[in-house]
Structures are given as structure tokens and as C-alpha cells.
Amino acid sequence: MSQEQWTAVDSYFTDRLAPADEALAAALTAADAAGLPAINVAPNQGKLLQLLAQTQGARTVLEIGTLAGYSTIWLARALPEDGRLISLEYDPAHADVARANLAHAGLDKIAEVRTGPALETLPVLAQEGAGPFDLVFIDADKPNNPHYLEWALKLTRPGSLVVVDNVVRGGRIADPESTDPAVVGTRRMFERIAANPLLSATAVQTVGAKGYDGFALVRVLG
């Protein structure tokens, strides 16, 4: 098994089940032109997010970590016309690219990008009464994963779904001696999930075009 084979298999699935359209392709082109890092979800992962939101019957979605809005497009397309998606992005330049991509995709009436550190904008959402959100997608700086989880729980309801990306960390998540802040933060998040009887969760390892990684699914029970 190799990265070349993983990418080939992803391409096979994507070409048949999640083919790129003009808006999605344009979003990636705009991100590249703006010099953004190529750390967006893969197309088949984006389609998974869309299917999860649709299966959830989501009307409201919160995304923590926008980048160029590629995953935002996938999620926003799962919502009804009167649905609402709020995406939080730390970098103003990234947020500008994302807003343009969402407008180009015709989703700027559904999806809103807010700029600033998420741990500052999340309390504002709570004060506004923006929740509860039916689905939360966490894909931001990993050291803060425990804090993002706590805010996700404050802004959801029983039955809501929380998806956390990049939780395997190249396998380092299993190393209790790791000092990598991303690993430490993600392990602390899992410890909080495991200790909370009002959550039901699992995590899945993946290989594909983005290498070796994985995601967590958390359902709020109460």
C-alpha cells in the first residue's frame, strides 16, 4: 500500500460519486491562487459531510475552520433554502477568499463567514442565541480541540452531530508520551468525550488522497 495507490482509489471513488463541478473546482483554484495551504477536505470527504448533514436533516450548521470555503460549500448544499450555516475563520485573508467562493457558488445567502479567533466568536454566537446547531464540523487548530468540543456542546441539542476532522495525526494519537500540541489537544478532546455519558461517539482511521488520518463522529444524547 502506498500514497499513490490511496490517491488512485480516492480518484476512482470521487470521479464516480463526488465529481467536481464548476463552483467546487473554482473554489480550489481560488484557494491556490491566493496561496492558501492545500489542507481542504478531499472531495469524497466533502460529499460525506454533505450526506451526514442531509441524513441529519440539518437546517443549521456550524463550521469551525473555513479556509477557502470548500467544505463549507459541501455542507451548505445540504441545507434547505431557509437553512443557515455559520463558519468561523481566524485569518481575514482566508475568510475573504471563502466569501467570494460562497458567493460564486450561489450560497452566500445561506452561509456566513465570521472572522476572528473562534474562541472569541463562539461566545458571541452563544450570546446571540445562534444555536442550537444540528451539525457542527470542527476543522481548525488542533490544540484547541477540547475547547471547540465544549463550545459545540453548548451550541447544540440532543440529537445534534459533531464531526471532528484530522484526529489520527499520522498515528501519533495513540502515543501517550507525545508532546505535539495537536496530538495533546486531540487526546484531551477524546478523554472528555469518553468521560461524558451524554455523548455517543466513534472515530475512524482513513487513508486517501490526503494521506493517513481520520475523523470522529459525536452524537449528543442529552
Identify the helix (H) or strand (E) that includes residue 104. helix 92-104
Output the nine-digit C-alpha cell for 46.
466533502
Q: pLDDT for 175-215, tens place per residue?
A: 999 999 999 999 999 999 999 999 999 999 999 999 999 99
How many of the other CB atoms lie within 10 Å of CB of 97?
A: 23
197: which DSSP letter?
A: T
Please give the single-letter amino acid code of residue 36: L
**Can you tell me the distance from the alpha carbon of 189 to that of 15, in angstroms, rounded to the nearest whole number?**
34
- Determine the pLDDT at residue 1: 80
**Can you tell me the distance from the alpha carbon of 89 to that of 200, in angstroms, rounded to the nearest whole number?**
28
- Determine the pLDDT at residue 5: 96
**Can you tell me the distance from the alpha carbon of 12 to that of 7, in angstroms, rounded to the nearest whole number?**
9
Task: Please check the confidence at residue 222 and state whether its pLDDT lies above 90.
Answer: no
- Determine the pLDDT at residue 126: 96
**Domain segments of the chain as ranges:** 3-220
According to CATH, the topology of domain 3-220 is: Rossmann fold (3.40.50)
Q: Yes or no: say if 90 and 63 are a contact pair by the CB < 8 Å rule.
A: no
Mean pLDDT of the chain: 97
Mean pLDDT for the stretch of residues 141-154 = 98
Output the nine-digit C-alpha cell for 168.
489520527
Mean pLDDT for the stretch of residues 98-105 = 98
3-state secondary structure of 117: coil
User: How remote is the C-alpha of 135 from its chain's centroid?
Assistant: 10
Q: pLDDT for 36-76, tens place per residue?
A: 999 999 999 999 999 999 999 999 999 999 999 999 999 99
- Determine the pLDDT at residue 131: 85
Task: Please check the confidence at residue 20 and state whether its pLDDT lies above 90.
Answer: no
**Can you tell me the distance from the alpha carbon of 66 to that of 184, in angstroms, rounded to the nearest whole number?**
23
